[in-house]
Amino acid sequence: MEQTIGIVEFVRTNKARSMEALKLQQKPEKESVEIFQLQREMDEELRHWLLGQTLKRIRKFCDKYDGDGDGMVLTREIERDFAKDRDHSFLMLIAVRDMKVVGHLLAETYQYYGRLYVFVSQLEIDPGISLERQKVAFEIVVIWAKDLRAHGI
């Protein structure tokens, strides 16, 4: 189960990834889906590409599932939050296979009676992503919530 062993290390070292490394990646694993946590400290080219792709998916998700949600308003709010130095309200995870975004997860924080909670507001994956990779994404959400000292997810 090499996929789930180094999750904390993955979250901390993800910022060293680059677009070129993604293009050249040769994975010996059966599944070639890479999960990225979108962070400001990432390689600039990779960050811009992932952010653009993810915001498109988030808007499409709003159009498809959120009858009352406005995807443009949400993505502007995410962009503002992403520009902050710290105390981020959103977590964006992106699944990439062969230079194509094949899934995304959007989690956000909210206060409820003075307690901080994390809420997964969007999750959409294309067919063919294994349950193991999906578990990796949820484990990253759990780590993020613990780092925030959230009361629950």
pLDDT in tens, 100-134: 999 999 999 999 999 999 999 999 999 888 888 88
* Cα 82 to Cα 76: distance, rounded to the nearest angstrom: 10
Q: What is the pTM of this model?
A: 0.77
CA angle 38, 43, 49 (to 5 degrees): 60
* Cα 97 to Cα 129: distance, rounded to the nearest angstrom: 9
> For residue 95, is pLDDT > 90?
yes
User: Which residues lie below 8 Å from residue 42, measured CB to CB, with a gap of 6+?
Assistant: 14, 15, 17, 36, 50
Helices (H), 26-70: 44-65
